Amino acid sequence: MIDVDSLLVSLKPKGFFQLTQYLLSDASMIPCVVALLKIVFIGSIPTSRCANLNISQLYDYGYESNDTHDVVYGKCQIEIFSRSSNSSNRTLACINGYTYDEGKHQSFVSEWDLVCDKAGLSELTQTLFSVGGLIGALTLPYFSDTKGRKPVLVISNILLFIFSFSSSFSPNYYVFIVFRVLEGISMQGLAVATYTLMLELYPVSHRTLMSGMSGVTWGLCVLPFAPVAYLLRNYSWKINNIVYSSSHVIVFFQLWYLEESLRWLVTNGDFERSKKVIKRVAKENGVDFGPIWDKIETNLIPLITVKNKDSMISSKEKLSQQQEVKKEGYLTIFTNSLARRMTLILFVVGFMNAVTYIAVYMTSPSLAGNGYLNFFLFSLTEVCANITMAITLFRLPRRVAISFYQGTAGVALFIAVAVLYFGDGSSVYSILNIIFSLLGMFGISASYCLIWIYAPEIYPTNLRNIGLGFLTFSGSVGNMVSPYSRLLMENIPWLPGTVCSIGCILSFSLLYFMPESQKMQMPSSMSDVKAHMKLQKRSKREKSGKEIGSTDPENT
């Protein structure tokens, strides 16, 4: 096994090369944020009512004059009331379409009349986007592992730009949803390659911190979204979408300046490219290349070059025949009771994190006040939450931290719902509702980041990617469901917050049955996890016993 960590340490893990590569990789989060959240603005639900009937239509339905009939144009129907007892009232559908306060082309919802009997079709675009993300999660990591991180990152970014830009010219709803599915697939490939490339820039000792910093970066990428949308508020959704698509211009800098993961090159035996990248790192970090390269060739296990790969196969096979180790695989998730319990709990926690996170953003424009300002405040709260999470990353046990943040989200959202439901609708209650909703966003943002740091730490080596796959799947399912929170908010304002708060409280209570990972070495098998949990329980009992024993009997 190649000791890549020692190599990265000798090249200065906090040098100029790592900083610039990290920032350039991190910039890929901007198009990911845009693809995930742009529906809040380009698919906003407009204020609408039925379009007016012309005079001949009114006469066809028994209307005579304003003295004999009243015509009421509602949101989804037209009512003609007769003032005379001799004629009956009429209720009609919006036969002439709809009139929108914000303009016909302000949102794709208004452009294609996705209201009333078509309500929910706008949310379906986000659900299908998440379906595309699930397809991407199941397929594209394979190419990232076999072809390299950079090719998948760059190609996914280019494809995401093409699909996003092309969707602006969709002639109808059905073409638009096809592009949204393709966007979901591409975004997942971009997100996976970006996250992997960022982590592989650093040795294992720095990985936890950099994982936490990626959450801060995500929040910073969301932050300018609302101000940009506000500046474009008087333009059509198509213009908005074209401007959002311009965020993909970063791919041209990545194509030119971004390097392939050194860890991936070394592990896959690409000798020449590894040497080239190491030389560049040494130059930009001010490290002498010669001694490092000599050490690689003499002291470390030699890099497997393309030429000697075949000759190494037989020795690897002999080594594997000598080592008879019990292998754990996909079925272990279902056959091992501890693995099954861990996976089910992580699925619930991941699902509720995804549902609550997207639901809070989707419903933010529906809260009192300006929708753009609300979205900005929520994104600013997310940045603060992730900074707080990164600061406390090494100070609080993982389970305690996740429970605290998710419990905070659940309680805050419950109070926000109570204020909304029992309040009298005054400005004071509206402000309280927004404050507790912001506190809910604070908790769920930090919890969402932490669960992705926690999950790889509790699964053994052969189950780690499988466990992360189930966590990704739970998030995708949550993202499919969460867009409909906006539709619920329109009809039953208290229901989305109630569902999210109860789910968050249930989720954090389940974490009691999970192992703590802060001081746990990366497990190699489920036996290691089980042994650690036994040690964890024994330590807790001993600690409780000491506390009881140290109590002064005279004070009892």
- In angstroms, the CA 496 to CA 506 distance is 16
Say yes or no: 523 and 386 in one domain: yes
Q: Tell me which residue has tokens 């974490």.
A: 511
Q: What's the mean pLDDT when you consider all of the chain?
A: 81
Is there a domain that residue 295 lies in?
no
- In angstroms, the CA 44 to CA 362 distance is 9
> What pLDDT band is residue 413 in, cutting at 50, 70 and 90?
very high
> What pLDDT band is residue 309 in, cutting at 50, 70 and 90?
very low
Say yes or no: 78 and 155 in one domain: no
Say yes or no: 350 and 475 in one domain: yes
Contact, 172 vs 199, CB < 8 A? Answer: no
Out of 9-18, 27-36, 146-155, 199-208, least confident range? 199-208
Give the model confidence (pLDDT) of 475-485 as tens digits: 888 888 888 88
Give the model confidence (pLDDT) of 451-466 as tens digits: 888 887 788 766 776 7
Say yes or no: 67 and 3 in one domain: no
Contact, 495 vs 333, CB < 8 A? Answer: no
Say what the pLDDT of residue 298 is.
59
Task: Provide the CB-side half-sphere exposure for 150 (13 A, CA).
Answer: 18
Say what the pLDDT of residue 301 is.
46
Say yes or no: 151 and 194 in one domain: yes
Is there a domain that residue 326 lies in?
no
Higher pLDDT, 489 or 426: 489
Is there a domain that residue 464 lies in?
yes
Say yes or no: 137 and 77 in one domain: no
Q: Tell me which residue has tokens 């639901």.
A: 359
Say what the pLDDT of residue 15 is.
84
Is there a domain that residue 303 lies in?
no
Domain tally, the chain: 3
- Listed residues 252, 287, 322: the one ending a domain: 287
Say yes or no: 135 and 265 in one domain: yes
Say yes or no: 503 and 469 in one domain: yes
Identify the CATH number of the domain in which residue 522 sits: 1.20.1250.20
- Mean pLDDT of the 415-422 span: 86
Domain coverage including residue 528? 336-536
Say what the pLDDT of residue 300 is.
46
The helix/strand/coil state of 90 is strand
Contact, 429 vs 419, CB < 8 A? Answer: yes
